[in-house]
Structure 1
Amino acid sequence: MDRDACAFEFKGFILQTPADDLQVVDHGPQRFFLKVSAVIIVLISSVALLFYVRQNAMVLKCNMIVCMLTTNTAFGLLTLIHHLFIFLFNQRYLHLSSPAKFFVFSNLTLLSQNIVSVSSIALALDRVLIMSIPVRYKIWKVGKKLFIVVFVLNWLVSPFTYCLVLFFSDLNDLIYLVNVERSLKHYVFYPITCVETVCYVIFALQYRDFTKRQTRYVCRKTENAQNQIIWAQMVCHTSLVFIPSSILSIDRFLNLRIEWIATLKWTYEMPIFSTSIMLSSLIPLLKMWPRRKVKTVFSVKAASLKSVSRKGRS
């Protein structure tokens, strides 16, 4: 690769060098979709989180629904910050000495994908534990402990590890940072996606057994809504994340080099993932949206007449 003058494609952008005239060229409508979907994700997740907290004021806030909506909001914000960085960079408000430093910032979107996937795993695992050990779940406060574990992983361990890798990296070595990005995707994100799918399968099986055992059990409104949120996430994840990720993993390890798979990787992977997050954020909003309470008014006179008639019959 000629590092003095080249055009390198990365995440749907073209990095044009030499370094003193570096420019990031947006060459696809998928970038516009990512910006719009990021705004929608932030708005939907924030409003859904507000509704959930208001409706569950007496319930412990440290639960996995709050964690999921928070990480979805963070994903949207990081995507917007990413595109804001590109805008400032092209307008020459930011000055970078090499394309490698652009890679450092671009990989934050991949970090946000891992954060969202970890919270989804915890949400599915949380529902499985509620159905399998409901009494111990409350006594041991499993939900609160799981929330703390996910918080530490997402907001402390993952960013610290990412910064540590970059600290010991050569930021001027463009090829090395490309390999770091590929390693994060193929050896971190894709395995997390597989674990997430396994957790969804376990949830589906556990939910089926739970409904068979508890035929007369009627779930509360909140629990029923949370189960429906998991089902929606499972459908979105399987169809929009797991299947494309599996195709890309097979292509990488078998080195197939098929044209449409390359198009999927460079053009449609992030928009598809963003669509999955947007849909999985929309379901909680619909479930938590406040509805009018229908009050049934009984006529006192009619009720008294019915009671009198019943007494007369007896």
Structure 2
Amino acid sequence: MKIAVLGAGAIGAFVGAALHRGGADVHLVARGPHLQAIRERGVSVLSPRGDFTAHPHATDDPAEIGPVDVVFLGLKAHSYASSGPLIEPLLGDHTAVVAGQNGIPWWYFHRLTGPYEGRRIEAVDPDGATSKVLAPERAVGCVVYPATVIESPGVIRHLEGTRFSIGEPGGEISQRCTDLSDAMIAGGLKCPVEPNLRDDIWIKLMGNVAFNPISALTRATMVDICRHAPSRRLVAELMEETLDIAARVGSTPDISIERRLRGAEGVGDHKTSMLQDLEAGKQLELDAIVTAVVEMADITGAEAPRLRAIAAATELLARSTGTD
């Protein structure tokens, strides 16, 4: 299986190294000192499960790679619509696109039976710009559970988790999903093929939509938020509103709010990705994690007052700090 990782950052390089270790034909698209280090020394993964180094091909020019079986997107969701020049050389007639993103994906209503089938979510697919670059028919959904950071160029620190849940928007167990799952498992990762992947999306989003903006607004870590009674209560209320929206579009994630809170508290003094981006002066992932959820509340008629308040405050934060 020939796989390109477009955006070989913390998660992308981790996935690429694991896939290469498992025998896949892997090509990383990276840039700057990170690319130079990978070319010279490979990708070093430092992990509680065991350190290893992989030496996949790495480039900043996707045209060197050509069409592949699978493109794994390690880019932030807000850059998808402008990624055309990078992704087009990688696309063949049957290339699948696997987006390892947080939040609501641009393909969410593609092949979702019910009153919203085919609906476009403007927050993640403005005027259809993302779908023009990444046709929903190519999409294989992916929910990323591992936590990783770039410790230094070419060096990935794997903190926890090995699960990448994948699934077709239509719910079938396709050959392209089972082939990718096999390749991921061969590399030492967990990769279940889920017939109801949207439930997994909402389970992760329950945490992201609450902890990410609160951490950015307060500069608090996840454990700080959980152990402060008023903020813990606010997180629970945000999760309740999120589950209400999920139910309105046909998803019923099988997890309790208290269990989700305990899991987040167990992560410890971890800064969310949104807080890390804020401190680094990078654009915040608001569109997919927060704005799209509020838009789905509008679509379904959900009130979601706390989500709307958090969205307004975080959007103002991004505007005032230049991270919008």
Query: Is the structural similarity TM-score above 0.5?
Result: no
TM-score grouping bracket, smaller chain normalisation: under 0.3
Q: What is the TM-score of this pair, normalised by structure 1?
A: 0.26
Q: What is the TM-score of this pair, normalised by structure 2?
A: 0.25
Q: Which has the higher helix share?
A: 1
* Relative contact order, higher structure (CA 8 A, sep 6+): 1
Pick the structure with greater CA Rg: 1
